[in-house]
Amino acid sequence: MRLLSVLLLSLATLSAGAGTADQCLEHDYAMKNYKDCCAKGGYKVEGRGVVCKEVGPKVKAKRELR
């Protein structure tokens, strides 16, 4: 199931257009769209791992404050 999620996210990234930058590589965008960018294997998409590792704790901390 997780592999399927990663494959779908990879396909979505590729289908966004050749040469199109992945918005999830931008910290602000990744924080606002954490579920789409990093959750459920999204962090495994090429280049997102580092960004998700940095924004993950911040997003999770904000959730705990609610």
The pLDDT tens digits for 7-63 are 556 655 555 555 689 999 999 999 999 999 999 999 999 999 999 999 999 999 988
- pLDDT score for 49: 97
Number of Cβ within 10 Å of residue 1's Cβ equals 6
Q: Determine the length of the chain.
A: 66
What global pTM score does this model have?
A: 0.66
- pLDDT score for 29: 98
- At 16, phi and psi to the nearest 5? -65, -15
The more confidently predicted of residues 64 and 55 is 55
* Cβ 12 vs Cβ 46: under 8 Å: no
Taking CA atoms, 7 is separated from 2, 37, 38, 52, in Å, by 9, 13, 14, 18
